[in-house]
Amino acid sequence: MHLQLPDFCPPPGLRNAHIQSLLSNAGPRQWLVNNRCLAMRARSKTLLLNGSHDGQAVKLLAAFDRADRDNNKLAVLLHGWEGSAESTYILSAAHYLYQRGFNVLRLNLRDHGGSLHLNSGTFNSTLSEEVATAIMDFLRQQPHHHCSLAVYSLGGNFALRIAADVGTEIPLSSVVAICPPVDPAHAMERIMDGPVYRNHFFDKWTRSLEKKLHFFPELLDDKSLPHFSSLVALNDYFVPTFTPFRDASEYFSAYALSGDRLSSLSVPAYLITSEDDPIVPVTDLEKIHRPDALAFVVTALGGHCGFVENYRLDCWIDRCLAEIFSHHPFHYQ
Query: Residue 333 falls within a domain, yes or no?
Result: no
Long-range contacts of 19-22, Cβ-Cβ distance < 8 Å, separation of 24 or more: 19/303, 19/306, 20/274, 20/276, 20/301, 20/302, 20/303, 20/304, 20/306, 20/307, 20/308, 21/197, 21/277, 21/278, 21/279, 21/303, 21/304, 21/305, 21/306, 22/196, 22/306
Query: Residue 3 falls within a domain, yes or no?
Result: no
What is the per-residue pLDDT across 130-146, written as a single tens digit (0 to 9) for each?
999 999 999 999 999 88
For the chain, the domain total comes to 1
Whole-model pTM: value is 0.95
Q: According to the model, what pLDDT value does residue 206 have?
A: 94
Query: Residue 172 falls within a domain, yes or no?
Result: yes
Q: According to the model, what pLDDT value does residue 221 have?
A: 77
Query: Residue 5 falls within a domain, yes or no?
Result: no
What is the per-residue pLDDT across 253-284, written as a single tens digit (0 to 9) for each?
999 999 999 999 999 999 999 999 999 999 99
What is the per-residue pLDDT across 236-254, written as a single tens digit (0 to 9) for each?
999 999 999 999 999 999 9
What is the per-residue pLDDT across 165-188, written as a single tens digit (0 to 9) for each?
998 889 899 999 999 999 999 999
Q: According to the model, what pLDDT value does residue 330 have?
A: 59
Q: Which structural domain range is residue 197 located in? A: 12-327
Query: Residue 63 falls within a domain, yes or no?
Result: yes
Query: Residue 117 falls within a domain, yes or no?
Result: yes
Query: Residue 6 falls within a domain, yes or no?
Result: no
| Mean pLDDT of the chain, nearest integer | 94
Which pLDDT band, with edges at 50, 70 and 90, does 27 fall under?
confident
Helix (H, G, I), strand (E, B) or coil at 167: coil
Asked if residue 333 has pLDDT above 50, the reply is no
CATH number of residue 258's parent domain: 3.40.50.1820
What is the per-residue pLDDT across 197-233, written as a single tens digit (0 to 9) for each?
999 999 999 999 999 999 999 998 776 788 888 899 9
Q: According to the model, what pLDDT value does residue 332 have?
A: 42
